[in-house]
Amino acid sequence: MALKGKSFIVTGGTRGIGRGLVEALLGAGGRVAFCGRSAKTVAKAVEEMKGLGGALIGLAGDIGSDGDAKKLAGAALSAFGAVDFLINNAAVLATPDTVVNTPPKVWEEVLRVNVAGTVNMIRHVLPGMQKRRSGAIVNLSSGWGRVGEARVASYCASKFAVEGLSQSVAAEAGRGVVVIALNPGIIATDMLATAFESDVSRYPSPRDIAPRWLRLLESLEPKDNGRSLDLDDF
């Protein structure tokens, strides 16, 4: 499927994997709506990505808030008429620590953004896809959404939840809609540096993996519905 002219929502698009993806989609001629938590960083990202191609709108908001998720979905629908791809990328990672030492508020925040935020976006975008019998939802999981690790239990739990959520939504989505969970691999981002508590510059950057993203999105088809995929395979 050619991506030129297709419409996308990318949550968490001001930095890291999301920013690299937005840039790649614009370069492919896509129409992209993205969000970030800070109005300042969103405005800066929009300014920096001008001229890359396609069409771009950026909104400040927290997708863990249903109202903000609804605004982002509404802005994309108003600007583009439909959403062809929803990429649920936005996520937070707590400072690594043991389960015993991780406070309830930290658990609540990680699950609110990583799980409830993903649900919020799906609730506001999926009905339009179902009506058109067309569209794809890519929920970012992690290697830590399939195998747990010490000191990052809240993140692991949230990504295991995303895997199960993706399977359930895939079963409900209906004809023409594809829903997958995607492990993007080990990518050099600020989040990864926090998780590993070390330098991560030896790993691929978000821009390095852009061609894989494009190949994945171009290749999605009905047989992929409900699958857990790895970006490294593309």
Express each pLDDT in 210-231 by its tens digit. Answer: 999 999 999 999 999 999 999 9
| Domain range enclosing 179 | 7-233
In a domain, 205, yes or no: yes
d(CA 146, CA 162): 10
- In this structure, the number of other CB atoms found within 10 A of the CB of residue 86 comes to 29
* 225 touches 170 (CB < 8 A): yes
pLDDT in tens, 191-200: 767 777 878 7
Q: Known catalytic residues?
A: 155
In a domain, 191, yes or no: yes
pTM of the predicted structure, to 2 decimals: 0.96
Q: Report whether pLDDT(121) > 90.
A: yes
Specify the CATH number for the domain of residue 195: 3.40.50.720
In a domain, 95, yes or no: yes
Percent of the chain with pLDDT over 90: 91
d(CA 118, CA 148): 20
pLDDT at 86: 98
Q: Which two tokens stand for residue 160?
A: 């295991």
Q: Which of 18-22, 37-41, 89-93, 195-199 has the lowest mean pLDDT?
A: 195-199
Q: Report whether pLDDT(87) > 90.
A: yes
In a domain, 167, yes or no: yes
DSSP state of 122: H
Q: Report whether pLDDT(1) > 80.
A: no
In a domain, 120, yes or no: yes
Mode of pairing for the β-strands spanning 228-230 and 177-183: parallel
Q: What residues form DSSP beta bridges with 178?
A: 136
* Surface-to-core class of residue 105, CB atoms within 10 Å of its CB (0-12 exposed, 13-18 middle, 19+ buried): exposed
pLDDT at 170: 98
In a domain, 1, yes or no: no
| 27, containing H or E segment | helix 16-27
Q: Report whether pLDDT(160) > 90.
A: yes
Count of domains observed in the chain:
1
In a domain, 2, yes or no: no
Task: List the 55-60 sheet strands across, edge first.
Answer: 55-60, 31-36, 7-10, 85-88, 135-140, 177-183, 228-230
What is the pLDDT confidence band of residue 139, given thresholds at 50, 70 and 90?
Answer: very high
Q: At what angle do helices 39-49 and 16-27 cross, to 10 degrees?
A: 30
Higher pLDDT, 198 or 172: 172
User: Once rounded to an integer, what is the mean pLDDT over residues 98-117?
Assistant: 98
In a domain, 52, yes or no: yes
User: Which one, of 132, 119, 117, lies nearest residue 84 by Cα?
Assistant: 132
